[in-house]
Amino acid sequence: MLIINDDHRRRAGVCSLDELCPYCGSAFAFYPLVMSDDASQTVYHVACALELATDLLVDLYTFFSPPAPYARLFTLTAPAPTLHSEGGSDAINRS
Ligand SMILES: [Zn+2]
């Protein structure tokens, strides 16, 4: 959620612009701010939220698609359905 004024800030649980951003440790000082939509609803500077999101995207991208010569650590696959011996091709063991 974008925070652009004192009313938004108070409803986000930030008492003043003197509170510190949990990402960079600097005072919020000015608008706009961003509140995450996770359970803790943390408030960040917009630039800090973008940096955090970018770091997460880069980490996830390189984890799932590492640069050469590294290979993927794993590949997600769905288990092949197994045919039940008494049910022919209609019975699939879902255990
Ligand atoms: Zn910050």
- The whole-angstrom separation of Cα 37 and Cα 25 is 20
Tokens of 68: 């050469």
pLDDT digits (tens, 9 = 90+) for 13-22: 999 999 999 9
Q: Ligand 1: distance of its center to the CA of 26 in Å? A: 6
Q: Has residue 62 got a pLDDT over 90?
A: no
Map tokens 């590294």 to a residue.
70
On the 0-12 / 13-18 / 19+ scale of CB atoms within 10 A, 3 is buried
Q: Ligand 1: distance of its center to the CA of 66 in Å? A: 29
Q: Is the pTM of this model over 0.75?
A: no
Question: Which residues lie near ion ligand 1 (Cβ < 5 Å)?
Answer: 21, 23-24, 45, 48
Q: Ligand 1: distance of its center to the CA of 34 in Å? A: 10
DSSP 24: T
Residues 6+ apart with CB under 8 A from 42: 22, 35, 36
